[in-house]
């Protein structure tokens, strides 16, 4: 049980964490994968190479240590991480493995400072955090298994359609192999997809946003083919090049805390690159519910060849009170409601419902940081700015 003495001790070690930085989490992951290589079947190893996962873990540990006596401040972060964990099918016993390697990492990197009292405090602190996640994730698993079309664990789905949306993005429509129905989802949520690529040493699990409205029968994800070489998207390239109609993948139920709110207010969807995928589900859902308020769709991409769903967005203008604007970074000429260059809210601020609209952002981190800064400067309250970041979580 976590005591006040434990709390005081953990908070006193924050300078130690800060001085160690991401070297702590890098050592932790190296240690864990050495002793428990089976966990490579869960973690995105590309994010290990790029440093994104160690950085995200370090920030999470530092935030927990700093707020260990006021955990209510971490509620949103806990829910976001718990949703992501359920898309990997994380189980309670895996928390014990992580906890063991975390304590051993601290012991190995700071043997002089890691006294028995510090070890006891951090063991209790980690135990409390693990219990929180195990409880929240258990509730999420149970909720999804109990509703119509729901299930627990990975479920086999067949690819029934594969469609090219642009130069880099392909959509995959998936239906359950068992012929049953599927759980509905909130527009903006994602699926955990697991495959074992030919020649790979381990399974690959990734999360992909659902890109159309729920229908109770099938799911559609839209995947960008990422990069080449050592840092290429192992999973995205495998899906694009190797997965075809009739092939099977394993799927976890929909998850995610980024979704369209049921509010009686204008909606503004702002995306860059493949960040437009959850926006398609939001648009389709607004069409289904005959949404009467203004909808603004703002999108940025490299060029017209990489502009996915352009025709679809134009088609829903017949149903929604929708205005759109697109920024092409590299194209040479612009058309109606188009701008050459990077997105600037300043270009369209006069047409935006800045005081009452609900804003949804999805795209690369630096893009969202810039757009959020612009929105705040224009008077949009932070509570009305919702965002989704693909990959390990970072605050925007």
Catalytically annotated residue among 26, 29, 64, 95: 95
Q: Is residue 384 part of a domain?
A: yes
Establish whether 339 is an annotated binding residue.
no
In 110-147, which residue ranges form alpha helices assigned H by DSSP? 116-146
256 is in an annotated binding site: no
Q: Which residues pair with 328 in a beta bridge?
A: 301, 340
Asked if the structure places residue 394 within a domain, the reply is no
Q: Based on the residue annotation, tell me whether 95 is a catalytic residue of this protein.
A: yes
CA 309, 311, 313: angle at the middle one, nearest 5?
70
One domain, residues 135 and 160? no
Task: Give the Cα separation of 208 and 51 in Å (integer).
Answer: 21
Say which CATH number the domain at 249 has: 2.40.30.10
Place of tokens 């909130």: 186
User: For the domain that residue 316 is a member of, what is the CATH number?
Assistant: 3.40.50.80
Number of structural domains the chain divides into: 3
pLDDT value at residue 231: 46
Residues 12 and 137 in one domain: yes
Active site residue 259: no
**Residue 218 belongs to what domain range?**
155-255
Separation of alpha carbons 266 and 371, rounded Å: 18
Q: Is there a single domain that holds both residue 241 and residue 273?
A: no
Query: Is 274 one of the annotated binding-site residues?
Result: yes
- Regarding whether 189 and 171 lie in a shared domain, the answer is yes
Residue 395 is assigned to a structural domain of this protein: no
Q: Is 273 annotated as a binding residue?
A: yes
What per-residue confidence (pLDDT) applies to 159? 98
**Per-run averaged pLDDT (10 residues), the chain, 396 residues:** 93 87 89 94 76 78 89 89 95 95 92 92 94 96 97 98 97 98 97 91 93 97 79 82 96 96 95 96 96 97 95 93 95 86 95 96 94 97 89 52
Considering the candidates 29, 64, 126, 137, report the single residue annotated as catalytic.
Answer: 137
In angstroms, what CA-CA distances link 94 with 91, 100, 308? 6, 10, 39
> Is residue 292 a part of any domain in this protein?
yes
**Residue whose C-alpha is closest to residue 88's, from 251, 275, 271:** 251
**What pTM was computed for the model?**
0.92
């Amino acid at each position: 049980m976590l005591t006040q003495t434990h709390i005081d001790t953990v908070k006193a070690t924050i300078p130690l964490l800060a001085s160690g930085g991401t070297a702590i989490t890098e050592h932790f992951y190296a240690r864990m994968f050495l002793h428990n290589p089976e966990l490579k079947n869960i973690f995105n190893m590309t994010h290990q190479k790029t440093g994104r996962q160690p950085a995200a873990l370090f920030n999470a540990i530092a935030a927990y240590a700093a707020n260990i006596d006021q955990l209510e401040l971490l509620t949103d972060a806990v829910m976001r991480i718990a949703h992501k964990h359920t898309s990997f099918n994380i189980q309670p016993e895996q928390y014990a493995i992580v906890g063991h390697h975390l304590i051993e990492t601290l012991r190995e990197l700071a043997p002089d400072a890691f006294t028995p009292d510090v070890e006891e405090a951090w063991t209790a602190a980690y135990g409390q955090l693990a219990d929180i996640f195990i409880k929240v994730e258990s509730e999420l698993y149970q909720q999804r298994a109990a509703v119509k079309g729901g299930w627990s664990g990975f479920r086999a789905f067949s690819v029934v359609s594969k469609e090219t949306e642009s130069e880099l993005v392909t959509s995959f429509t998936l239906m359950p192999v068992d012929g049953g129905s599927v759980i509905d989802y909130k527009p903006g949520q994602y699926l955990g997809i697991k495959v074992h690529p030919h020649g790979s040493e381990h399974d690959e699990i990734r999360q992909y946003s659902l890109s159309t409205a729920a229908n109770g029968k099938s799911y559609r994800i839209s995947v960008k083919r990422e990069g080449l070489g050592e840092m290429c998207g192992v999973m995205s390239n495998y899906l694009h090049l190797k997965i075809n109609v009739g092939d099977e993948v394993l799927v976890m139920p929909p998850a995610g805390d980024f979704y369209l709110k049921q509010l009686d207010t204008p909606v503004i969807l702002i995306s860059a690159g493949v960040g437009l995928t959850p926006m398609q589900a939001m648009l389709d859902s607004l069409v289904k519910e005959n949404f009467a308020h203004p909808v603004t769709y703002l999108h940025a991409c490299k060029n017209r060849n990489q502009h996915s769903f352009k025709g679809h967005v134009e088609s829903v203008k017949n149903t929604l009170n929708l205005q759109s604007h697109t920024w092409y970074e590299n194209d040479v000429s612009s058309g109606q409601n188009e701008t050459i260059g990077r997105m600037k809210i300043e270009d369209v601020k006069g047409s935006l419902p800045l005081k009452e609209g609900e804003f949804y952002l999805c795209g690369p981190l630096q893009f969202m940081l810039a757009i959020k800064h612009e929105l705040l400067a224009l008077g949009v309250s932070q509570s009305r700015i919702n965002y989704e970041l693909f990959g390990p979580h970072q605050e925007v």
